[in-house]
Amino acid sequence: MGISRDNWHKRRKTGGKRKPYHKKRKYELGRPPANTKIGPRRIHTVRVRGGNKKYRALRLDVGNFSWGSECCTRKTRIIDVVYNASNNELVRTKTLVKNCIVLVDSLPYRQWYEAHFATPLGRKKGAKLTPEEEEVLNKKRSKRTQKKYDERKKTAKISPLCHSAGTQEGSKADQPILGRAVPAGKAPCLHCIQTGPVRQDRRLHPGRKSLSST
């Protein structure tokens, strides 16, 4: 029969049946859900009305996620689906749908945070830094540049869980989160999959008047 999005196959409000006065039309068709899984990227194109194209993601392994409280958006690896309010079956099968909670790799956010604030995040005490990390965190800067970083550090405070989670080997991902993501050293962080553009002006730190001041 096929999936149909018409309304003439439904009964009237009074309870009476409707007579089908024409066959199903192309513009009334519906398509099955993509049920996107985690895996190597596989995207199919679908020819739709007007000769346009829609893209059906069957497998995805990366996504564009935002750390809302820091206004930082990065493309990062999707690790796992940990929660779905609508259906536990979607968690078991690791299906990516809107509003599912996923684990993502926190490395891009930690790299941005350390480069932006020149402050280590989620590292063990006394841990040795690689030459690249040493260059970012302990770089010799001019007085003017150092003053800029000192001003940034005034608004660099985040939840202590961000620092403590990275110091525990194999730390659990179900820790309380701040904003939309918690960079936690080697540990992954939680995200909520949404649709539509990411609003970059939300949850600014106290003292930040605009994005231009960061």
Edge-to-edge order in the sheet of strand 62-67: 62-67, 72-83, 101-104, 189-192
Closest CA to 82 of 72, 91, 74: 91
Q: Check residue 172 and give its pLDDT.
A: 40
Cα-atom radius of gyration of the chain, to the nearest Å?
24
Q: Check residue 123 and give its pLDDT.
A: 74
Q: Check residue 209 and give its pLDDT.
A: 39
Domain assignment present for 48:
no
Q: Check residue 1 and give its pLDDT.
A: 66
Domain assignment present for 72:
yes
Q: Which domain holds residue 174?
A: 61-196
Domain assignment present for 127:
yes
Domain assignment present for 17:
no
Domain assignment present for 205:
no
Q: Check residue 20 and give its pLDDT.
A: 94
Domain assignment present for 9:
no
| pLDDT tens over the chain, length 214 residues | 689 999 999 999 999 999 999 999 999 999 999 999 999 999 999 999 999 999 999 999 999 999 888 888 999 999 999 999 999 999 999 999 999 999 999 889 888 888 888 887 777 777 777 777 777 777 788 888 888 888 888 887 777 766 655 444 333 433 333 333 334 444 567 777 776 654 544 444 444 433 333 3
Half-sphere exposure of 72 (CA within 13 A, CB side): 23
Q: Check residue 195 and give its pLDDT.
A: 64
Q: How many separate domains does the chain show? A: 1
Which two tokens mark 55? 């893209």
Domain assignment present for 78:
yes
Q: Check residue 68 and give its pLDDT.
A: 83
Domain assignment present for 210:
no
Write out the chain in H/E/C secondary structure. CCCECCCCCCCCCCCCCCCCCCCCCHHHECCCCCCEEECCCEEEEEECHHHCEEEEEEEECEEEEEEHHHCEEEEEEEEEEEECCCCHHHHHCCEECCCCEEEECCHHHHHHHHHHHCCCCCCCCCCCCCHHHHHHHCCCCCHHHHHHHHHHHCCCCCCHHHHHHCCCCCCCCCCCCCCCCCCECCECEEEECCCCCCCCCCCCCCCCCCHHHC
Helices 143-153 & 107-117 angle (0-180, nearest 10):
120
